[in-house]
A and B are shown apart, each in its own frame.
Chain A
């Protein structure tokens, strides 16, 4: 009999009850490129070599200067990378608070300081040169990468308390989703990994609905905390189990759970949207009735 070609890790056809997503990329954030940060790490390497050669010379002072400069630049680049990630997360949301620490700016300060220290103590240039190099590096950094987001982002007419409440709830739920995805990455099964991914997308779509209309938070809270945490815990436990060996029963149970959860997230999201629509309908009806009653109907 003809047999389908494929190995252990080849994609397998999904179960019959799992419909293909209509928009496979909906709800997925664009990952910012890391190349610009990586190049800064590479550019700092000569300082490490300089420290090494000063050590061979027996010049501890210059070696320490070079090492401190290198550490500051590398630390600054790491902060910059985190800042770029935080900025992308901020832009991906409709309602968000600015990052607690302006990492991009602190990264710029660390890089400027590192260059100044290396120029002053490593190369032995004067104080003025060191300050000038550091200052120019900081300015170039800020121009190249921009400022961190500083303001709260929310919809007009929503009070600050509500923005904070929604932002906190979404941040916590987002953290749970990330933990679930990380746990799923340990499962040696592409299909299940894809199912967890689909659940994450469904959950994130619900977050966007809540951000659109914060009144939905109460109705969505159970999904964003209890169900999501349950899904994460189940994923972690299944990942541990799957690494010890295959267990067909556990696999099918877990897959069924993921399917149920995804479906319930999707239906709850639709229900929330439906509620918003009925709110609008009520408002339209009331206004139209009033217009008719007061006789200001369009002639």
Chain B
């Protein structure tokens, strides 16, 4: 239905979104103490 290039592009966007939300939830949801610890490093 759509071109191969746009399909590949859409697939990469999908993967990037899943990875971004995953890492965002992993590191973005850190408590203040953990952030301070991370900054100290």
Q: Contact residues of A with B, CB < 8 Å?
A: 36, 39-40, 43-47, 49-50, 53-54, 57, 59, 62, 65-66, 69, 73, 111, 115, 118-119, 122-125, 133, 136-137, 139-141, 143-147
- Whether B18 lies near A146 (C-beta < 8 A) is no
Chain A residues with Cβ under 8 A from B13's Cβ?
136, 140
Query: Closest 9 CB pairs between A and B?
Result: A46-B22, A122-B25, A143-B10, A50-B25, A144-B11, A50-B26, A144-B10, A140-B14, A43-B18
Nearest neighbor of A116 in chain B, beta-carbon distance: B21
Cβ of B35 within 8 Å of any chain A Cβ, yes or no, is no
How many angstroms between the C-alpha atoms of A205 and B2 in the bound complex?
32
Known A40-B15, A43-B22, A65-B25; further 19 A-B contacts with Cβ < 8 A: A46-B22, A46-B25, A50-B23, A50-B25, A50-B29, A53-B26, A62-B29, A111-B14, A115-B21, A118-B21, A122-B21, A124-B28, A133-B17, A133-B21, A136-B13, A137-B14, A141-B14, A143-B2, A144-B14
Q: Closest Cβ of chain A: how far from B33's Cβ, in Å?
A: 9
Chosen A-B contacts, 22 in total, with CB atoms closer than 8 Å, are: A43-B18, A44-B18, A44-B22, A46-B22, A47-B22, A47-B25, A49-B22, A59-B29, A62-B25, A66-B25, A69-B25, A111-B14, A115-B18, A123-B21, A123-B28, A137-B18, A141-B10, A143-B7, A143-B10, A144-B8, A144-B14, A146-B2
Inter-chain contact count A-B, CB under 8 Å? 95
- Whether A118 lies near B22 (C-beta < 8 A) is yes
Q: Closest Cβ of chain A: how far from B32's Cβ, in Å?
A: 11
How many angstroms between the C-alpha atoms of A50 and B24 in the bound complex?
9
How many angstroms between the C-alpha atoms of A66 and B25 in the bound complex?
7
Chain B residues with Cβ under 8 A from A50's Cβ?
22-23, 25-26, 29
How many angstroms between the C-alpha atoms of A188 and B11 in the bound complex?
40
Q: Is the interface of A mostly helix, strand, loop or mixed?
A: helix
- Whether A140 lies near B23 (C-beta < 8 A) is no
Chain B residues with Cβ under 8 A from A69's Cβ?
21, 25
How many angstroms between the C-alpha atoms of A122 and B14 in the bound complex?
18
Q: Interface extent on B, as a size class?
A: 20 to 34
How many angstroms between the C-alpha atoms of A69 and B10 in the bound complex?
20
Chain B residues with Cβ under 8 A from A39's Cβ?
15
Chain A residues with Cβ under 8 A from B28's Cβ?
123-124
- With contacts A115-B21, A133-B21 taken as known, whether A46 is within 8 angstroms of B26 at the C-beta atoms is yes
Chain B residues with Cβ under 8 A from A146's Cβ?
1-2, 7
Chain A residues with Cβ under 8 A from B15's Cβ?
39-40, 43
- Whether A140 lies near B17 (C-beta < 8 A) is yes
- Whether A143 lies near B6 (C-beta < 8 A) is yes
Q: Closest Cβ of chain B: how far from A135's Cβ, in Å?
A: 11
How many angstroms between the C-alpha atoms of A43 and B14 in the bound complex?
10
Chain B residues with Cβ under 8 A from A122's Cβ?
21, 25, 29
Nearest neighbor of A45 in chain B, beta-carbon distance: B22
Chain B residues with Cβ under 8 A from A139's Cβ?
10
How many angstroms between the C-alpha atoms of A146 and B8 in the bound complex?
12
How many angstroms between the C-alpha atoms of A276 and B2 in the bound complex?
39
Chain A residues with Cβ under 8 A from B17's Cβ?
115, 133, 136-137, 140
